[in-house]
Amino acid sequence: MIPVAEARARILEAMPRMPLEWVALPAAHGRVLARDLHAGRSQPPLAVSAMDGYAVRSEDLREPGARLRIVGEVPAGRVFAGRVGPGEAVRIFTGAPLPEGADAVLMQERAEVSGDLLRAQVALPPGKFVRPAGLDFEAGWKGLGAGHLLDARALGLAAAMGHAWLPVRRRPRVAILATGDELVRPGEVPGPAGIVSSNNPTLMAMVEGWGGDPVDLGIARDRPEDLLHALDQAAGADLLVTSGGASVGAYDLVQDTLVAHGLAVNFWKIAMRPGKPLIFGRFRDIPFLGLPGNPVSAAVCAIVYLRAALLACLGRPTELPVSRAPLAAPLAANDEREDYMRAYWRSDGGQPPRVRPADRQDSSMFATFAHADLLLRRPPRDPARAAGDLVEVIEIARALAR
Ligand code: AMP
Ligand code: MG
d(CA 91, CA 51): 11
- pLDDT at residue 205 tops 90: yes
Label residue 116 by pLDDT band (50, 70, 90): very high
Label residue 251 by pLDDT band (50, 70, 90): confident
- End-to-end Cα spacing for the chain: 28
pLDDT at residue 166, rounded to an integer = 98
Pocket flag, ligand 1, residue 292 (CB < 6 Å) = yes
Closest ligand to 178 CA? 1
More confident residue, 248 or 242: 242
- Looking at every residue in the chain, the average pLDDT score rounds to 97
Per residue in 278-291, pLDDT tens?
999 999 999 999 99
pLDDT at residue 111, rounded to an integer = 98
In CATH terms, the fold of domain 20-43+138-169 is Molybdopterin biosynthesis moea protein, domain 2 (3.90.105)
Pocket flag, ligand 1, residue 294 (CB < 6 Å) = yes
Q: How far is the CA of 184 from the centre of ligand 2 (A)?
A: 12
- Average pLDDT on 127-155 reads 98
Residues belonging to the chain: 402
d(CA 2, CA 337): 10
Pocket flag, ligand 1, residue 274 (CB < 6 Å) = no
pLDDT at residue 246, rounded to an integer = 86
pLDDT at residue 248, rounded to an integer = 78
Per residue in 55-87, pLDDT tens?
999 999 999 999 999 999 999 999 999 999 999
Residues whose CB is less than 8 angstroms from the CB of residue 349 and which lie 6 or more positions away in sequence, other chains included: none
d(CA 208, CA 218): 17
Alpha helices by DSSP H, 238-319: 254-260, 295-301, 307-314
Q: What ranges do the domains of the chain cover?
A: 4-17+171-313, 20-43+138-169, 48-131, 322-400
Asked if CATH classification 3.40.980.10 holds for the domain at 4-17+171-313, the reply, yes or no, is yes
Secondary structure class of 208 (helix, strand, coil): helix
Per residue in 263-313, pLDDT tens?
999 999 999 999 999 999 999 999 999 999 999 999 999 999 999 999 999
Label residue 208 by pLDDT band (50, 70, 90): very high
The answer to whether 3 and 338 are in contact (CB under 8 A) is: yes
Per residue in 147-177, pLDDT tens?
999 999 999 999 999 999 999 999 999 999 9
Residues whose CB is less than 8 angstroms from the CB of residue 240 and which lie 6 or more positions away in sequence, other chains included: 174, 175, 177, 231, 234, 283, 286, 287, 288, 289
- Pick the residue whose CA is nearest to atom 7 on ligand 1: 294
Q: In the chain, pLDDT over 90 holds for what percent of residues?
A: 97
d(CA 152, CA 165): 15
Closest ligand to 292 CA? 1
Superfamily of domain 48-131: Molybdopterin biosynthesis moea protein, domain 3. (2.170.190.11)
Mutate which of 183, 188, 206, 279 for ligand 1 pocket (most atoms within 8 A of beta carbon): 183
- Pick the residue whose CA is nearest to atom 17 on ligand 1: 293
Per residue in 331-355, pLDDT tens?
999 999 999 999 999 998 888 899 9
Closest ligand to 195 CA? 1
pLDDT at residue 193, rounded to an integer = 96
- Average pLDDT on 31-50 reads 98
The answer to whether 326 and 354 are in contact (CB under 8 A) is: yes
pLDDT at residue 350, rounded to an integer = 84
- The whole model's pTM is what? 0.94
pLDDT at residue 250, rounded to an integer = 80
pLDDT at residue 349, rounded to an integer = 82
Q: Which amino acid is at 311?
A: L
Which atom from ligand 1 is nearest to the alpha carbon of 178? 19
How do beta strands 213-220 and 173-179 pair? parallel
Label residue 363 by pLDDT band (50, 70, 90): very high
Tell me, yes or no, if the two domains 20-43+138-169 and 322-400 fold the same way.
no
Pocket flag, ligand 1, residue 363 (CB < 6 Å) = no
- Pick the residue whose CA is nearest to atom 10 on ligand 1: 294
In CATH terms, the fold of domain 322-400 is Beta-clip (2.40.340)
